[in-house]
């Protein structure tokens, strides 16, 4: 082995060890790195009322109710489980039924998630409005498939754990 | 001229002088074409005109990682092959990469406020990119902290290679963990999820940004070689004066 090859092997093995160490650390910290819990993850962890966490999922179609002032109630679902959410404040522009949403807060004694922050999540699809309209008209709209995908994604996230 | 000839700094300087005007011109032309295309691009069905931020944000974010990739190759060149230009290339790339990372962070923040409802959240993608930015700053400090360029180069090369572990973490953070940031739209299995009318301007901007990096990098490498020559001349002068 030449000196160059020896140096290359040394660097390669050092980096491999470091990468494995990083992977182990990230794996151990998985619970804290995950930005939000889906309703099924929340149910599985049986988070006690009053403990703060972030709840993420899709706003169930037809579940949005506006109260007086800026009060809103909606249901967050991941396809398997769902949780009712109460929030008072201004919702982000992208907030709508069927849209991904992340809310921060805690469960109350009745099992309702009292949120003090609501963030909208958007998916990785970008298209002009007329294309979206045309797709809707033709019945190829992504909502169904995307929702199934998201539900499957949420399911995968829970099964990994 | 073959690649091995460029290892000679004098030949490299001549090469840089000849190529730089063309590179700069190509960058300017492509940037103008790209910006015109961005201006003409349609609004997104959900995000409206806010989607325009993507054309700056995404190329900067790609470049922020690409530049670290270039620096990692240069680090191997320093540590393994002791290539004379490797540490010049590594040192010249650091501030440029830091600038691209900074632009990606700021534009992402400005984009996040209207769309997500927040400037900043500690999700895996945002945090790992912030770590990348801090590592760029650390490298800049390290290069300045050590006087002898060859010693600084070896220390910087090791840190660069260690930091390269962050690159796959950034790329796959949105797949490995639940994040606020959406998954990849372009570089993903199954092809892009961006409509061609928005994808084409994005790709033109990405090429323009890459050319901008090439131009700035080449110019910065030339400056670094000249700076080292000045340093050597000063040292010679000082020792001559003492003798």
Please tell me the total count of domains within chain A.
Answer: 2
Q: Is the pLDDT of residue B222 over 90?
A: yes
CB neighbour class for B201 (10 Å; exposed up to 12, middle 13-18, buried from 19): buried
A-chain CB neighbours of B197 within 8 Å are 127-128, 131
Cα–Cα distances (Å) from B5 to A5, B15, B85, B147, in that order, read 23, 10, 11, 28
In a domain, A101, yes or no: yes
Give me the numbers of helices (H) and strands (E) for chain B, helices first please.
7, 0
Q: Do residues A87 and A122 both lie within one domain?
A: yes
Q: Six-digit token pair at A8?
A: 């290359």
- What residues contact B2, with CB distance under 8 A and at least 6 apart? none
In a domain, B35, yes or no: no
pLDDT in tens, B9-43: 888 999 999 999 999 999 999 999 999 999 999 99
pLDDT band at B188 (very low <50, low <70, confident <90, very high): confident
Residues A128 and A8 sit within 8 Å (Cβ to Cβ): no
Distance from CA of B25 to the nearest CA of A (A): 31
In a domain, A128, yes or no: yes
Q: Which residue in chain B is spatially nearest to A31 when comparing CA positions? A: B177
In a domain, B23, yes or no: no
Residues A78 and A151 sit within 8 Å (Cβ to Cβ): yes
Q: Do residues A80 and A135 both lie within one domain?
A: yes
Q: Six-digit token pair at B119?
A: 């400037």
Give the 3-state secondary structure of residue B188: coil
Q: Do residues A66 and A92 both lie within one domain?
A: yes
Cα separation, B63 vs B35, whole angstroms: 18
Cα–Cα distances (Å) from A79 to A37, A106, B134, in that order, read 14, 21, 39
Q: Do residues A56 and A119 both lie within one domain?
A: yes
In a domain, B34, yes or no: no
Distance from CA of B166 to the nearest CA of A (A): 9
- Region class of A46: left (phi > 0), else alpha (psi between -120 and 50), else beta: left
A-chain CB neighbours of B52 within 8 Å are none
Burial per residue of A34-45, b for 16 or more beta-carbon CB atoms within 10 angstroms, e otherwise: bbbbbbbbbeee
Nearest alpha carbon to residue B178 among A23, A79, A144, A150 = A150
CB of B179 within 8 Å of a chain A CB? The answer is yes
In a domain, B43, yes or no: no
Which neighbouring-strand residues pair with A115?
A87, A105
How confident is the prediction along chain A (161 residues), in pLDDT tens digits per residue? Answer: 788 888 999 999 999 999 999 999 998 888 888 889 999 988 888 888 888 999 999 999 888 888 888 889 999 998 888 999 999 988 888 888 888 999 999 999 888 999 999 999 888 889 888 888 888 887 766 554 444 444 444 444 443 33
CB of B115 within 8 Å of a chain A CB? The answer is yes
SS (H, E, C) A46-108: CCCCCCEEEEEEEECCCCCEECCCCEEEEEEECCCCEEEEEEECCCCCCCCCCCEEEEEEEEC
In a domain, B46, yes or no: no
Q: Do residues A22 and A46 both lie within one domain?
A: no
Q: Do residues A26 and A43 both lie within one domain?
A: no
**C-alpha B78 chain-centroid distance:** 19
Widest pairwise Cα distance in chain A = 77
In a domain, B104, yes or no: yes
Q: Do residues A25 and A56 both lie within one domain?
A: no
Burial per residue of A81-109, b for 16 or more beta-carbon CB atoms within 10 angstroms, e otherwise: bbbbbbbeeebbebbeeeebbbbbbbbee
In a domain, B21, yes or no: no
Residue A86: CATH number of its domain? 2.40.50.140
Q: Do residues A86 and A18 both lie within one domain?
A: no
Q: Six-digit token pair at B243?
A: 């003798």
pLDDT band at B5 (very low <50, low <70, confident <90, very high): low
In a domain, A161, yes or no: no
Q: Do residues A23 and A52 both lie within one domain?
A: no
B-chain CB neighbours of A4 within 8 Å are 80-81
In a domain, A100, yes or no: yes
In a domain, B214, yes or no: yes
Print the domain residue range for B116: 58-177+194-232
Print the domain residue range for A78: 39-142
In a domain, A159, yes or no: no
Q: Six-digit token pair at B6?
A: 């460029």
Please tell me the total count of domains within chain B.
Answer: 1
């Amino acid at each position: 082995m030449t000196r160059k090859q020896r140096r290359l092997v040394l660097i390669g093995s050092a980096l491999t060890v470091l990468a494995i160490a990083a992977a182990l650390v990230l794996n151990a910290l998985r619970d804290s790195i995950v930005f939000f819990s889906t309703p099924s993850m929340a149910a599985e962890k049986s988070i006690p009322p009053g403990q703060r966490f972030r709840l993420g999922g899709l706003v169930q179609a037809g579940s949005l109710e506006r109260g007086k002032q800026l009060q809103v109630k909606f249901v967050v679902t991941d396809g398997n489980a769902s949780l009712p959410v109460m929030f008072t404040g201004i919702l982000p522009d992208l907030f709508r039924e069927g849209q991904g949403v992340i809310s921060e807060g805690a469960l109350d004694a009745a099992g309702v998630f009292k949120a003090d922050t609501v963030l909208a999540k958007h998916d990785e699809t970008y298209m002009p409005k007329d294309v979206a309209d045309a797709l809707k008209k033709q019945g190829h709209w992504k909502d169904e498939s995307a929702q199934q995908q998201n539900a499957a994604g949420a399911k995968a996230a829970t099964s990994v754990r | 001229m073959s690649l091995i000839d460029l290892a000679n700094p004098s030949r490299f300087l001549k090469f840089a002088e000849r190529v730089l005007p063309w590179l700069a011109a190509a960058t300017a032309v492509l940037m103008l074409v790209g910006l015109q295309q961005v201006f003409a691009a349609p609004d997104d069905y959900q995000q409206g005109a806010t989607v325009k931020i993507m054309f700056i944000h995404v190329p900067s974010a790609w470049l922020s990682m690409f530049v670290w990739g270039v620096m990692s190759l240069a680090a191997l060149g320093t540590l393994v092959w002791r290539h004379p230009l490797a540490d010049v290339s590594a040192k010249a790339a650091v501030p440029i990469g830091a600038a691209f990372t900074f632009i990606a962070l700021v534009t992402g923040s400005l984009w996040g406020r209207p769309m997500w409802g927040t400037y900043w959240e500690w999700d895996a993608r945002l945090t790992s990119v912030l770590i990348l930015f801090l590592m760029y700053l650390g490298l800049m400090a390290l290069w300045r902290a050590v006087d002898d360029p060859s010693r600084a180069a070896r220390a910087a090369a090791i840190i660069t290679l260690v930091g390269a572990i962050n690159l796959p973490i950034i790329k796959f953070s949105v797949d490995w963990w639940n994040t606020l940031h959406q998954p990849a739209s372009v570089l993903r299995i199954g092809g892009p999820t961006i409509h061609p009318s928005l994808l084409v301007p994005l790709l033109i901007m990405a090429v323009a940004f890459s050319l901008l990096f090439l131009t700035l990098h080449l110019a910065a490498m030339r400056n670094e070689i000249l700076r080292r020559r000045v340093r050597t001349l000063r040292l010679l002068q000082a020792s001559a004066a003492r003798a």
